[in-house]
Structure 1
Amino acid sequence: MASSSRAADASGVTRKLILLAIAVVLFVALYTGVWFYAASWIKDRVERELAASARGMHSAACSDLSVRGYPFRIGVFCDSVAIDDRPSGLSATFGALRSAAQVYRPGHAVFELDGPAQVRVTPDLVFDADWDLMHASAVAWTDGLDRFSAAYDGLKGKLNMPSEGLSVGIAAAHGEKHVRQSGDALDVAASLDALSLDIDGKALPPMNVAADLTIADAAKWLTAEGPPPNLPLGTSAELRTLSFDLGAGQTLALSGPVTVGDDGTVSGALDLTIEGITAWRDRVSELFPQAAKTAKRVAEAVKVLSGGQERAVVKVNIRQGTVYLGLFPVAEIPPL
């Protein structure tokens, strides 16, 4: 009796293992079928969207499109990427694009984008760039992006605009940009580490740049509606900080509300904190020789307000493009 009971128990365990194995095989087969069906659907959908965009005013292209990542990820891959925004006269080309999202969290994707890149804006502005590594992440819902972040290392580029006699080399050791919806507003933060500029063969020492601001009523820019065609006209922002650091304690920071009117004129009430007034005067004069007189005039006015010290905290008012220190106009900002 004991022997037959043990045999029955063993037979029951065997049947359960067989059933479990069959269930696992069926699940894997079903999951595989669903994954490849989803990949095919995504590929077809992207191809249709790209084909439709080619007939519109805002087009995008992805060469050798494929969908990869089985078994646990899914993402779009392109050998090269191109965009063309006809109303603004902007077009751009990039290297290979790789993307991936976890199958259980398809709304959160990560990307890598290779250089080189070229951005062109009519009539003759061209920006050529390359980088060591660029990666990004995005969280999206059915109505568009919720937030987006990008970071890159080893950026090198050159900006040319022959009609203005402009040629600027740009390099940065590291850069980041973060954008997210905040109610109806849009939070934006960006930074550039060791930013170096080369203007007409004149190389300037590197500096660190950072910006943090909130743009009012701009959350919709990340939805299907997109940003307005006349950007940045009619925008209003709260500048938490815009800082420049030359090193050796030479810093400049601005904060406060800023608006751009429908006519492109800038207005605002900013707090300016500056360390090393003379060094900043010399840097601006070196960077923009045509603005040397303005830089000298502003530096003298700031020094007067600071009691002759190299550090100052002053109020900068901008009214319809005219910059005031105290009661005195010191510079003009042309319409954007």
Structure 2
Amino acid sequence: MSEDSVRDGIGGEAARGRVSRWGLFLPVAALVLLVALWTGYWVFMHAQVRDGLAAWRAAEQAAGRTYACDRETLSGFPFRFELRCTSLTFADAAAGMQAKVAGLLAVAQAYEPRHIIVELSGPAQVDTETGDHATASWTLLEASLQFASTGLKQVSVIADGAALDATTRDGIAVKGTAAKLAAHARQRPDQTAVAPFEDIEIALRADAVSLDDKSDPWTGALDGLATEVPPLVGEAPDLFRTWQIANGSFDLTNFSLTDGNTSVSGTGHLAPTATGTVSGAFAVGLATARPPTPDDTPTLTQQYLALLHTAGGFLGREAKVGGVDGRMVDITIDDGRVSLGTMQIGVLPPLF
């Protein structure tokens, strides 16, 4: 073998050694760079969340609403952002109300920071300056918030095993339980409202709800569309006034309520008026599969339904309600004046 061949062989081995070492170092260097970039992103977003919370709290405090935690942490590195708050208290000076919740956990994945899951730990207590008091508990209370560049896009709240024990300022006790409660609201995909106003689809569900220990639990559902809804910032009277100026309205596309024997359903339309009240019309169906007997113990809810059913017998028309023969009655609201058929039955207070 010639000397040149030997040198070529040695040089080739050295070159292959350099190539193999680069092949080892490049993935490691890329991984280190990726970790550094991800860490920088997480630290930046952590600061954004912290500053955003501080700005939001300052704005709320300026409006007379304060939030405080006994202990608060913002963590979750490397893949999540977690806000933990123990003994959360909320006070609204304008409403004269104070509330307390055992704990709050808000979580967002670092790769999807606009989707936030919030879980509240019970029990919760609410007290008012006028003497009203309420305690609520649950096995699960969770909310899902989805944001877009223009703001909140969709929200869902679900409560399992909910219970309420309240006492009004007049000493009236109100107790209730529910196997499941759900509320959903989202921007209508094909909305016609112009920003900052929105068309919002609403869906409410309630399963096995009981307001006392004597009546059968009931199940209910409500679906509707609120148009030209203004940004939910400010006091309620101002929001209703802005909603009216924008020609907003609410369409009740479906309402149903049943306890297995009595069924109520309805559809309708409602809109605020320039005088600060509301006008609208609803078609309400009522049906009873089994008439009440003398052995039944009437509850407050059953008494109201019986009253409507009796009125429907005089003022309504025959119709199928929940698959059962029943009566359909018309309820109209003219500038706050509520009428059942042709008979006025009450006046609603103004919204603003």
1:157 aligns to what?
164
Does the CA contact (< 8 Å) of 2:312 and 2:328 recur in 1? no
Q: TM-score of the superposition, structure 2-length normalised?
A: 0.78
Does the CA contact (< 8 Å) of 2:158 and 2:181 recur in 1? yes
Shift of 1:289: 8.8
Shift of 1:115: 0.9
1:207 aligns to what?
218
**Take 2:148 and 2:113, find their aligned partners in 1: how far apart are those partners?**
10
Moved more, 28-37 or 274-283: 274-283
**Take 2:124 and 2:304, find their aligned partners in 1: how far apart are those partners?**
31
Percent identity, aligned pairs only? 26
Does the CA contact (< 8 Å) of 1:297 and 1:330 recur in 2? no
Gap runs ≥5 in structure 1 = none
Does the CA contact (< 8 Å) of 1:191 and 1:209 recur in 2? yes
**Take 2:228 and 2:78, find their aligned partners in 1: how far apart are those partners?**
41
Which of 174, 183, 190 aligns to 2:180? It is: 174
Map 1:131-142 onto structure 2 (within 5 A).
131-142=138-149
Shift of 1:296: 6.4
Match of 1:79, SS state, is strand
**Take 2:25 and 2:52, find their aligned partners in 1: how far apart are those partners?**
40
Moved more, 38-47 or 125-134: 38-47
Query: Compared with structure 1, are the counterparts of its residues 29 and 292 closer, same or farther at alpha carbon in structure 2 (3 Å cutoff)?
Result: closer
Match of 2:349, SS state, is coil
> Structure 1 counterpart of 2:340, which letter?
Y
> Structure 2 counterpart of 1:15, which letter?
W
1:243 aligns to what?
256
Shift of 1:295: 4.3
Answering whether residue 18 of structure 2 is matched by residue 8 of structure 1, we say: no
Moved more, 208-217 or 88-97: 88-97
Moved more, 154-163 or 272-281: 272-281
Match of 1:100, SS state, is strand
**Take 2:186 and 2:292, find their aligned partners in 1: how far apart are those partners?**
33
Query: Compared with structure 1, are the counterparts of its residues 48 and 186 closer, same or farther at alpha carbon in structure 2 (3 Å cutoff)?
Result: closer
Does the CA contact (< 8 Å) of 2:130 and 2:169 recur in 1? no
Gap runs ≥5 in structure 2 = 1-7, 192-197
What is the aligned residue count? 325
**Take 2:276 and 2:293, find their aligned partners in 1: how far apart are those partners?**
27
2:4 aligns to what?
none
Query: Compared with structure 1, are the counterparts of its residues 264 and 193 closer, same or farther at alpha carbon in structure 2 (3 Å cutoff)?
Result: farther
Map 1:20-31 onto structure 2 (within 5 A).
20-31=27-38
Which of 259, 274, 277 aligns to 2:271? It is: 259
Shift of 1:108: 1.3
**Take 1:232 and 1:278, find their aligned partners in 2: how far apart are those partners?**
42
Does the CA contact (< 8 Å) of 1:98 and 1:111 recur in 2? yes
2:330 aligns to what?
315
1:195-214 per-residue CA deviation (whole Å, 9 max, x = no partner) reads 1102xxx5321000111112
Does the CA contact (< 8 Å) of 2:263 and 2:287 recur in 1? yes
Match of 2:236, SS state, is coil
**Take 1:263 and 1:92, find their aligned partners in 2: how far apart are those partners?**
33
Query: Compared with structure 1, are the counterparts of its residues 140 and 284 closer, same or farther at alpha carbon in structure 2 (3 Å cutoff)?
Result: farther
Shift of 1:95: 2.1
Which of 76, 100, 104 aligns to 2:83? It is: 76
Match of 1:87, SS state, is coil
1:111-132 per-residue CA deviation (whole Å, 9 max, x = no partner) reads 1111111233442322210100
Which of 197, 208, 211 aligns to 2:211? It is: 197
Map 1:277-292 onto structure 2 (within 5 A).
286-287=299-300
Query: Compared with structure 1, are the counterparts of its residues 110 and 167 closer, same or farther at alpha carbon in structure 2 (3 Å cutoff)?
Result: same
> Structure 2 counterpart of 1:305, which letter?
R
2:340 aligns to what?
324
Shift of 1:9: 2.6
**Take 1:264 and 1:167, find their aligned partners in 2: how far apart are those partners?**
32
1:115 aligns to what?
122
The CA RMSD measured in Å over matched residues stands at 3.4
**Take 2:216 and 2:202, find their aligned partners in 1: how far apart are those partners?**
27
Query: Compared with structure 1, are the counterparts of its residues 293 and 212 closer, same or farther at alpha carbon in structure 2 (3 Å cutoff)?
Result: closer
> Structure 1 counterpart of 2:228, which letter?
D
Shift of 1:277: 7.6
Query: Compared with structure 1, are the counterparts of its residues 209 and 263 closer, same or farther at alpha carbon in structure 2 (3 Å cutoff)?
Result: farther
**Take 1:101 and 1:194, find their aligned partners in 2: how far apart are those partners?**
32
Moved more, 167-176 or 101-110: 101-110
Shift of 1:28: 1.2
Query: Compared with structure 1, are the counterparts of its residues 253 and 295 closer, same or farther at alpha carbon in structure 2 (3 Å cutoff)?
Result: closer
